[in-house]
Structure 1
Amino acid sequence: MRFVIAPLDVVKIRLQLQPHSLSDPLSYENLRGSPIYKGTIRTLQHIVKHEGITGLWKGNVPAELMYVSYAAVQFTAYRSTTMLLHRLFNEEDRLPQAAESFISGATAGATATVTTYPLDLLRTRFAAQGNDRVYTSLRRAIWEIRRDEGIKGFFRGLSPGLAQIVPLMGIFFAIYETARQPLSRLDLPWGSGDATAGLLASIVAKTGVFPLDLVRKRIQVQGPTRSRYVHRNIPEYSGTVRTIRQIIKREKVRGLYRGLTVSLMKAAPASAVTMWTYERVLNLLIGYGGDDSAESAV
């Protein structure tokens, strides 16, 4: 699944990192040789034309490692937090379903983000480099970032990352758990409401916090290699609030939503499949293990 949607991920990152406003007159001086991307299809075509078909899978290795690790940590933390809340509050004092799901989702998202963040940064930097390769291999990238930027270099943009993921996963799971039961009673073609609830939750949550995702990407490519990526005119950014102000001043509010369409094309179906699979595997494990405590957390 991740391999199939990898090109959309590269397109999203390229659009998010494009700092020039397409409504303003563009000159070679302010572009500094950077490409001009307009829309998902045109960006795909541009990358294939100038970088070859393999350019659509740049950053896929750290992305694959990140997605596998992220999912494992996220769902483990979500289940653990949910079961902890059940132990802390008895039946009479139990939190509302939406509040419980928000807390569990936010905790799971924050834990998974911090744990896998260096892979996320590596994914972004590889996807952002053009024919002039900034890093020749994953091993070399890790060594150079450690040498030139220190350990903190692997965590550039973590603040907006956490500011994004906490409400993102909180809203996602709150909507998912709220919508799953009513949707499960409908006669849907795939047999349950899990996938539809996951799709709906992903669209709402992603759209709501997307500007912070864009800010995270812009900050991730800061440092000594900033002017060597495919967009050579990326400004210097520091701090979440300051970066948001700079983007609004230079690119208007719509600049904070570059790549939203392709992001939803990529994330919404993936969330639907993920949640459908999660519910099936969880029910299978409960059926085999007879874990009453696990069942009560569903």
Structure 2
Amino acid sequence: MTLKEDKKESPLLYILTGATSGLVADSLMHPIDTIRARIQIEKVGKSQYRGTFHALNHIIKNEGASYLYKGFPIVATATVPAHALYFLGYEYSKSLMIDKLGPKWGDSAISHFTAGFIADALGSLVWVPMDIIKQRLQVQTNTQKLNPNQTYYKGSFHAAKVIMKEEGVKGFYRGFMPALLTYGPFVGIYFSVYEKCKSFISSTLHYSPDQYLPIPYQLGSGFFAGAFAAAVTCPLDVIKTRIQVQRSTEKQIYKGMFDSFKTILKEEGPKAFVKGMGTRILWIAPGNALTIASYEQLKYLFKGII
């Protein structure tokens, strides 16, 4: 597939294709995300789940398959604007750096990392409140046992109402910096690796720079980049998740990234920082592969229209 570069791509193209591709991927991968959150909040030595598939079986058997989609309504609502901002931020930042720095530096790994970080910062304005609501619903069965007197969330929008009442707007941005410091590097690494994979495959197959790769290569590049970035940033994700599932009405065990790192290391050891890594990769790698392949294909299909 060859793209004509006779006109500059419209920001609306990035917004619509980004929003659609994000919704498709999140819809399919939400159950794995629920399992990841459950595993990561458990302390080393006190785990009821022996791994991803044991957790899957345990949740279905004891709580029902529908529990795997706890928090999904808020995800479906928020992922559309979040992915729109995300892809708009990435494409615009990348284009701006190429214009200002030239192809050599503007299309380098450092530039892709920077554009990815900016993309995540924009998307996080929507993603962090979504994550707070989603993760608290996903782990509610676990946290309810520890705090039986806390208000039970009946669903995504009830949870949002309770958080606003109990914690105010600040409650929706609990762990914003840990989230940014987790997913900013993740997205930066992801896009750096993804662009390198695409470049390597294109040169191997003798594709010109204005050609889109076939879907299997887009999926493969997205999967590899997602798996690599997910593994590298797993320790940061454990810290972020522990902070975000805390309520302001509870005793604050984790008071910030550095404090959380020290507390987890002291109480549980280094192994705690790789809890849920396999599940995180199973959630992120296919999700990123689906998102980026959908995005690339939709961008190609709608380029001449939008």
What's 2:238 paired with? Answer: 214
What's 2:167 paired with? Answer: 149
Pick from 188, 209, 213 the counterpart of residue 170 of structure 1.
Answer: 188
Counterpart mapping for 1:149-298 below 5 A? 149-184=167-202, 185-186=204-205, 193-224=217-248, 226=250, 236-288=253-305
Superposition TM-score, scaled by structure 2 size: 0.80
Q: Residue 212 of structure 1: CA displacement?
A: 1.2
The answer on 1:138 being equivalent to 2:160 is no
For 1:272 and 1:224, the matched residues in 2 are separated by 36
Give CA-to-partner distance per residue, 1:83-105, whole Å, 9 cap, x none.
Answer: 222332345x7435212211111
Q: Residue 192 of structure 1: CA displacement?
A: 5.1
Q: In terms of mean alpha carbon deviation, does 272-281 or 237-246 score higher?
A: 272-281
Q: Residue 270 of structure 1: CA displacement?
A: 1.6
For 1:180 and 1:73, the matched residues in 2 are separated by 23
CA contact (8 A) 1:73 1:112 kept: yes
The answer on 1:49 being equivalent to 2:61 is yes
Alpha-carbon distance change, 10 to 225 in structure 1, aligned in 2, over 3 angstroms: farther
Pick from 73, 95, 110 the counterpart of residue 61 of structure 1.
Answer: 73
What do you get for the CA RMSD once the two structures are aligned? 2.4
The answer on 1:119 being equivalent to 2:136 is no
Q: Residue 15 of structure 1: CA displacement?
A: 0.2
What's 2:28 paired with? Answer: 4
Unaligned runs of 5+ in 2: 1-24, 145-150, 207-212
Alpha-carbon distance change, 138 to 277 in structure 1, aligned in 2, over 3 angstroms: closer
For 2:28 and 2:289, the matched residues in 1 are separated by 15
CA contact (8 A) 1:69 1:116 kept: no
Alpha-carbon distance change, 95 to 87 in structure 1, aligned in 2, over 3 angstroms: closer
Pick from 100, 104, 108 the counterpart of residue 97 of structure 1.
Answer: 108
Give CA-to-partner distance per residue, 1:153-198, whole Å, 9 cap, x none.
Answer: 11111111111122111111111111102224459x9655222111
CA contact (8 A) 1:66 1:120 kept: no
Letter in 1 for 2:74: P
Give CA-to-partner distance per residue, 1:187-218, whole Å, 9 cap, x none.
Answer: 9x965522211111111111111111111111
Secondary structure at 2:106's aligned position in 1?
A: coil
For 1:244 and 1:55, the matched residues in 2 are separated by 30
Letter in 2 for 1:264: I
Q: Residue 40 of structure 1: CA displacement?
A: 1.2
Alpha-carbon distance change, 243 to 60 in structure 1, aligned in 2, over 3 angstroms: same
The answer on 1:74 being equivalent to 2:98 is no
Letter in 1 for 2:64: G
Identity of aligned residues (%): 29
Superposition TM-score, scaled by structure 1 size: 0.82
